[in-house]
Structure formats: C-alpha cells, structure tokens
Structure 1
C-alpha cells in the first residue's frame, strides 16, 4: 500500500498483514535490507506461505549490498530425523498390512477400487496462497505413483481436483462429505478400515460444509511438518515420509491389488441432466470434458463453477485449480490470467480455460483486458444465472441483494480490447446448443480470445452443491431469530 489513512501512521498496513503472513519486513535500514529480504524469502519457501516486504518510497532507488546473492535461497526442506521417520513408516506399513479395506485419500483423487477397498486421498490442492498440501508440497507425482502401483481405491477432495491421474482404473471420484456420490461416501466413511490422507485441508468448502466423517482412528494424515497416526502426532514431514513409504510399497507385492477397477462411475449423470432440454448445470458438467485436452490449465471460480468442475473428467496432463479456503468470489479471473501467463512462458500449458459465474466476473472484469493484451487466447465460460445462485440456496432465495444487473457479455471483448481478435458464442440456452458448440472445430482450435455465455436457472446448481447447501439452509433456519425479534436478515 503506498497511501496512508491520513493519520501519519505509515506502519498501519504492515501491522495488518502480520496476522496473515509468516514473516514481514519494512526496509528502512540500508545495512539490513538485503538480509531482511533474504530472511523473508527463505521463510516463504520453508513454510510455503505468504510473506510481506514493505519498500518505503525514499528507499526504492537506494543501492544495497549484494553480498547475500552469493548464498542461494534454501529451496529444499531439511530431512526428517531418520530414526523417527523409519519408525513412522514402519507403523504405517503395519497398519496397511493389517487392513482389510484400506483407502488412500489424496484429497484430490476420487475413490475407485475392487475387492480390498484401498483409497488414496490427496489434498493439494490449488495453487493459490493456501493450498491443499499435496499440491503445495509438489508431491502429486509420488501420490499418483502410490495409487498406480498399489491399485488401491483413491479419491480426491475438491481442493485437490486436477492433481490426480484420473485415467487410472482405480480413480474413484470426489469426496466432499454430504456432496459425495453415495458409493464414494460409503467407501470412505463406512467400508474402509485404513485411510492414507495426503495433506488434509479441512475447510468448510473442502468438506461439504463440515459434513465429512472420516474416523481419526483409522487415518494417517501426512502434513508438511508432521504426520498424524490416529490422534498421535510425530514431528516428521510428508516429503520424507511419503517418499520412504513409496519405496516400501514398491518393494512389497503383498499389498498390491491386481486388475483393480472401480465398481461405480466416478462421473455419474444425475437424472435431472438426462432431460436434455433447457440447459442445466448437471448436464453442463457431464459434457464439458469434450473440450478438455492434455496440457490444458483450468480454473474454476468460487461457487458452482468450482464444485461443478470437480465432477468433470480430466485427461492425464490437464491441471485444475480452485479456491476452497477463503471463498473469495472474483479471484478466478485475475488468478487465471497470472497463472496462464506464467505457464505459457514456461511452456507447460497448451491452453487456458476459465469457468466463472457472472456475479464473480463483475467484480474483476479488468482481467479481460490483460488476457487480450497479452494474447493468451483463453477459452472462458460465463455461467449467467442472473445473480448469486449459491447465496440464494444458502439463504435468501428471493432476496434482492442476490440479483445482479444484466451485462451485455457479447460486447465485453470489444470494450476491453477492440484491436485484438476475439469470438463470442451465445447466449447458449439449451443442451442441444451446448453439445453443438462443444463439437465445433473452431472452438477447439482456440486461436483467439473466446467467450461462451451459458444461460442457467437462478436456482440451478450442481447436484453436490444442492446437497451441501441444503444442510446449511437447515442450520440457518434452526438458528434464525424469531420473526418478532426486531431484526432483519435483508430479505
């Protein structure tokens, strides 16, 4: 922040961010500036969490010592205590061997398995500032490898969507408490007697509004700096433990499941989607995989977009991100722009696909100007349901504050970048129109900025959202003040 609040206190913003940063510094001393910067950067890499560095205007052009540049930043975590790590891995292997129906949970990999029901859970989760630990800790390759060589049933949470290899036959779907399909919920909560949870991140959105029920006694939870076996905590981090566990699993054929194949469809088509008349969310998510290819980067906005995208089949090599911690609508457009720019510069992404609601988009539409100017050629789906659908379902179905002004989305590309090529598709109102569009070779070529407007019902949401918001509405109704209490909930 480069302005004060007019009080003469220039440290106010620094004090504010201390609560959400693992380290902070304001560069006021030339002799310490270099070491302060290095300290914050090393802390950021060690914790994998944000830091804050303030640069006063009168310091911005000052020269500081470059001595610190001779010492590389510490990019790797120190190793675990070997004896303690061996002890923990041995105990985990003992639990696995004695389990009849183990589950490996990647909080980003669904649960598919036969016979011995072993499920793998990753929770990376998304490349945002606070992510699921499997993704944040760059352990998705090891997590997928365990799922591949063991054949255990494995699932993912919403936060982990996009990090799992969904082409594996033992991939089973998404676990999100009450928002899970019944087969996944049952195998996680009832049938399994061992759960390996790689990087759990138990937030409201990531647990179906705290409707998940995983028995702690049968769970091994791997985290960045510790491992929990049941209720007991060990000071050994997931990097060393997971890699050591992978070595043990690779060497032990007795715990592998042959010809494993999930017994249910991880991407079931809800009954409401089979009518194929007016466009509905459940139908949208059941066919959207037609457009997704290996190498694509997908970002789902907070709300129905993120939950719906979790139910879409991803090919191997496609990556997905959502934001299930802060629930900050409007984040997706700018985050997508930065991520796509970085990924294209690195040569790791074929194309970027953004899925957002019109309510969220109206908060940060300026990202369109950058996407056009930078010639990133994105494919953007705007879900237009005339307001805030999730908020309506949670509380206030007819409240005026959940309704938005209607924009002419066809004109947005012209407004934000008239000199750049772009293409608008829509408004798409029926299932047939959407299927025809998804088969259009021009859409697949992706040679310019593409915007698709989808018209959906005001209360239409993915099946999983309906399950979860019903629980929230039930809670809100029970805890609402009496009508004569003299208070107002705004409609």
Structure 2
C-alpha cells in the first residue's frame, strides 16, 4: 500500500553487514546505527558535543554510513527536513544534551508541523548522575540554588514536538525494543521521534540476534467492514456526481502514495478535471491533458478557482487544510460537495470519519472504481498568465519565468519563506520536485535544506540539480551552511534575492522602519569563495542579464538585484484582502 519499503538492494546490503558480525553481542550504539542502515538511510546529520561523542565513534564501525556535520543544530534540523522531503525517507539528526537539542528544536517543530519523519538522537547526561544533585554544564539551573537539577526536563519538552520518545536505560533487551518502537512510530505517524542515549551507556552490550528480528515500519492498512463501507459510500458519491473534479494535495507525497495516485489519474484520464494545491504542487504533471491548475482560493488564478468551485463533487486526496494551502482561508469549496481523504481521517460530504484514514482506503477506492460509471466533467481551458518581456527593471515575476523555463525533470526546487514563495503557485515544475516549509514558515530554512536535499539526491543516485531561492534577510540567518555545501562537494544553484531587507515584512507593516532593515553591504557574490569554494558568484541586475544567464557546473550563487518593494501580485492580493 503506502509503506516505507526498503529496496531489495538496501535489504541485501543490510544482511550482508549483519552477517559479517562475528560476535554474539554488539553495543547499543551499533544496534541503533544498524537499524538506521536497515531503513536505507546512508547519511546522518548533526553537530558533535561531549555527550554524544562516544556514540558518534561507532558511526565509523558501519561501512556505508556518512556523517554530515552542520554548522549548528538548527541548520542540521533544516537539512534533515530537506533530506526527508527529497528522498521520502526518515532523516536522522544527532545532537547533544540541552544546548544542542534545544537549538535544533525550532527545526524539529517545523518537521512535526509538516509531517516530516525524523529520528532525533540526543546524547544525554550519564545515567549514574541523573539522580544526583550534581550541577554541571548544559543543565538548566533550578529556581533554587539548593534544588537538584532535572536531567529529564528536556525530554519532557521534546514530548510536545514528537510522536514518540524513548530513553535508553540499563536494561539491554528493553533498550533494543525502545529503539524499534520509536522507529516504528516515526514511520507510522510520519513525524519526529526522539531517542535519548546517556553518554555512559553507549557501550552497553545487546544481543546481536536482535538484529535478525523483523523491523516492520510499513503502515498496515486497516481493512475491515468499516473501511469497506467508507469506500462504498465514496464510490456512490462519485457515481452520483455530474461534474466531478480531483484535487491532489500534500499528504499524497508524505504517505508515499504517488503510485496509487498515478493509477487513479490513468483511470480518470479523459473524464475528470484535475487540480493540485499549493503544497501539493509537483504531484501532477502540468502537461496532463485534464490538468486545470493549482487551486489557491482567491489568491491564485481566478479561472481555476471558478472552475473547481462550480463542480458538484471534489475528490480531495491527501488533504492538508491549513492557511498556506487554502489561499489564506479564501478557498470556497463547500464541505457538502467534498470527499476528503487525509492522513488521519476521511470526510464524506461533511460527515467526518476518524477511525479510517487515507492509507486505509485510497488503494481500495482506486481498485474498485468503475470508471464507466463516472460522469465526464466539463472541460476547462484556462489561460496562462502573461509573463513579462523587454528590458524593464528586474522583478520577481522575471525570476518566476526564468525558473519555470530552467527546471527539468528530477530537479528539486526549494523556496524559502518570503515574498517569492507567493509566486510559486503558478510555476510549472516540468517534473521537478517542489520543497518548502510554508506552513511552519521559518525564514532561513532554504540553504540548510538545500544541503539535505543534495545529500539525499547523492545517496539515492538521483539525477537533476537542486535549485534554491532565498531572500537576503533569510540568508543572513543560516548562510554559514554554504561552507557545508562546499565541504561535501554538492552543486546546487542558489538564487539570492537582494532587495535590501525583509521585503515581505515591509509590505505587511513598517515599510521604512529600521526593524525591517538588515546589513546591506554583504558581498554576496564572494560568499562561496569566502567559505572555501573556488567560484565567484554572478550579479544579475536586469531582465537582460537574467535572460542571458548561463549556469555552469558546480555550486553556483546568483545574486539578483531587485527593487526594495517588489513582490508578486499574489502577495499584494493577499494583503489587500486582509485590509478589506
């Protein structure tokens, strides 16, 4: 169905490694790393610290695992998000007690919000010290100087941002079960999970035989009379519709159900209009004959909105109904006309079902769908928005056109939170994958996420490049991760939008306030060389410069000089709606 499946090649490599172990016992550190390896993961992100060093030493015992050291833990978390979304596997982050794990927390929270699977392993204080009153570094001081510190305080915090937590203790058999439980829950919930490993237990011996016990992380669909009845109810709604539409949304990719979607699209080809959402972009090929466009409520193409809103039934697959995905709440789809399949529920024309979800019923629905009983939708021809031409000053609309013309299948487009993200709803991806963090909306995400995406493509041997767009204000937060792009010899193309500060904030409020200013004397085109790369970036000041741009091999940084208040019209429309 929609499981996390390791390839035959990964399975073979894992068993080859395990069969080469000549001891009845291994360390718990090796056990954790081998379970990670078993899942087809080959890169581990993080920052070393004195509480995780013993664990990290064992990484070099596992041939085929690579350490990807990042400049700080927040960046490492962003990199993990880029990795997980690119290769659709769990990412792995290693941090240290207190200062490290808390530094990563904002990025982990973003992954939790957007259902991005992560194993966050934290090296913690020694087990033998946890119940003492000794106060040492990285511990949060209590409200009274004479009170004993709480070594489990950070674990309690993490519980709010994760689907599972496991703290390793002195029981070796329980420790293995804890590891497996957390890994299963991460894959079931598609959210971060935590393992807390005390620094004095990294060498604890566990039976090698535990590695031969199955690690079943696949989601198992709940096939029951209830799910069967739900499918039958949905089919009757589809067969009764005179003008149905298919709306493809975010959780299709998160739940790894793109193959099932492809079967549905093939079945409905020539009959039903197809749309995608802002966060579902890239899941449907824009060249599909019945693809109408991206539905963003009042913020997107008006013709697209009118077309889908006048249908009598919308089959919405992978629903993620959040602000950034429903046109800032401007979508006008009526609940009574929508069948919605989401990660934790199904809604049938306003009737909410919480004991069955998309992963339980989607494949059954596609298999049982009798396409001859599906009415042929009214065909819509939607005009494409005009694109700028000539030699006028460079704008974000020009960059939108340029990127659309530059993308090729297997590329990955990463766009940071900022003004330009509002231009991406109408970009045709041409088979590229679109990665963002638009719900959590943390600025500074894109460059570290680019590292993760590049590593994911390298690990999987996937062709194509990573193309990244980020504003200057956001880039100043996490720019140091360019050093890692250089260090690990990856070759993304970075479009740096130099518009003298936080433009998206300027158009919201305080256009000329100093709080929206940033340091503007950065020599952006020198940054790759500053961090050890050999290339000088290119400065693009006009539409003509952009049209004549030639992008070569290797890491590229392209600085675009944009007007201070230039924003896409979609953002202007959003702000106007907010004031009306």
TM-score higher than 0.5 here? yes
Match of 1:78 in 2: 220
How far residue 164 of structure 1 moved from its aligned partner, in angstroms, is 2.0
Q: How does 1:307-326 map to 2 (within 5 A)?
A: 307-316=422-431, 318-326=432-440
Q: Specify whether residues 66 and 256 from structure 1 end up closer, same or farther in structure 2 by C-alpha distance, changes over 3 A only.
A: farther
CA deviation map 1:131-156 (0-9, x unaligned): xx111101123224423431322222
Q: How does 1:367-382 map to 2 (within 5 A)?
A: 367-382=481-496
Q: Contact 1:103–1:194 (CA<8 Å) still a contact in 2?
A: yes
* Cα separation, 2, equivalents of 1:215 and 1:33: 49
Match of 2:331 in 1: 212
The total of aligned residue pairs comes to 434
Match of 1:297 in 2: 412
What secondary structure does 1:365 align onto? helix
What secondary structure does 1:55 align onto? strand
- The yes-or-no answer on 1:457 pairing with 2:571 is no
Match of 2:252 in 1: 134
Match of 2:359 in 1: 239
* Cα separation, 1, equivalents of 2:207 and 2:372: 56
Q: Specify whether residues 314 and 376 from structure 1 end up closer, same or farther in structure 2 by C-alpha distance, changes over 3 A only.
A: same
Q: Contact 1:46–1:74 (CA<8 Å) still a contact in 2?
A: no
* Cα separation, 2, equivalents of 1:288 and 1:181: 19
* Cα separation, 2, equivalents of 1:84 and 1:233: 13
Please provide the CA RMSD for this pair.
Answer: 2.1
* Cα separation, 2, equivalents of 1:280 and 1:261: 34
CA deviation map 1:343-375 (0-9, x unaligned): 222012321111111111111112211111111
* Cα separation, 2, equivalents of 1:58 and 1:269: 63
* Cα separation, 2, equivalents of 1:139 and 1:380: 30
How far residue 208 of structure 1 moved from its aligned partner, in angstroms, is 2.4
Q: Specify whether residues 55 and 469 from structure 1 end up closer, same or farther in structure 2 by C-alpha distance, changes over 3 A only.
A: farther
Match of 1:161 in 2: 281
Q: Contact 1:171–1:262 (CA<8 Å) still a contact in 2?
A: no
Q: Specify whether residues 195 and 261 from structure 1 end up closer, same or farther in structure 2 by C-alpha distance, changes over 3 A only.
A: closer
Match of 1:280 in 2: 395
CA deviation map 1:163-218 (0-9, x unaligned): 222221222222222211101111233x1110111122122222222222211111
Q: Contact 1:159–1:323 (CA<8 Å) still a contact in 2?
A: no
Match of 1:27 in 2: 168
* Cα separation, 2, equivalents of 1:61 and 1:252: 59
Q: Contact 2:501–2:517 (CA<8 Å) still a contact in 1?
A: yes
Q: Specify whether residues 449 and 136 from structure 1 end up closer, same or farther in structure 2 by C-alpha distance, changes over 3 A only.
A: same
Q: Contact 1:147–1:153 (CA<8 Å) still a contact in 2?
A: no
Q: How does 1:51-450 map to 2 (within 5 A)?
A: 51-106=193-248, 122=249, 124=250, 133-151=251-269, 152-189=272-309, 191-234=310-353, 235-249=355-369, 251-255=370-374, 257=376, 262-265=380-383, 267-269=384-386, 273-274=388-389, 276-316=391-431, 318-406=432-520, 407-417=522-532, 420-426=533-539, 428-437=540-549, 440=550, 443=551, 446-450=552-556
Q: Contact 2:243–2:376 (CA<8 Å) still a contact in 1?
A: no
How far residue 306 of structure 1 moved from its aligned partner, in angstroms, is 2.7
- The yes-or-no answer on 1:15 pairing with 2:156 is yes
* Cα separation, 2, equivalents of 1:140 and 1:330: 29
Q: Specify whether residues 202 and 252 from structure 1 end up closer, same or farther in structure 2 by C-alpha distance, changes over 3 A only.
A: closer
Q: Contact 1:333–1:365 (CA<8 Å) still a contact in 2?
A: yes
- Any stretches of 5+ residues in structure 2 without a counterpart? 1-95, 98-137, 143-148
* Cα separation, 2, equivalents of 1:457 and 1:75: 50
Q: Contact 2:419–2:571 (CA<8 Å) still a contact in 1?
A: yes
Q: Contact 1:45–1:75 (CA<8 Å) still a contact in 2?
A: yes
How far residue 67 of structure 1 moved from its aligned partner, in angstroms, is 4.5
How far residue 450 of structure 1 moved from its aligned partner, in angstroms, is 0.7
Q: Contact 2:400–2:424 (CA<8 Å) still a contact in 1?
A: yes
Q: Contact 2:420–2:567 (CA<8 Å) still a contact in 1?
A: no
CA deviation map 1:234-264 (0-9, x unaligned): 3222124221222233x42342749x96401
Match of 1:112 in 2: none
* Cα separation, 1, equivalents of 2:259 and 2:332: 27
Q: Contact 2:526–2:536 (CA<8 Å) still a contact in 1?
A: no
What secondary structure does 2:205 align onto? coil
* Cα separation, 2, equivalents of 1:101 and 1:261: 10
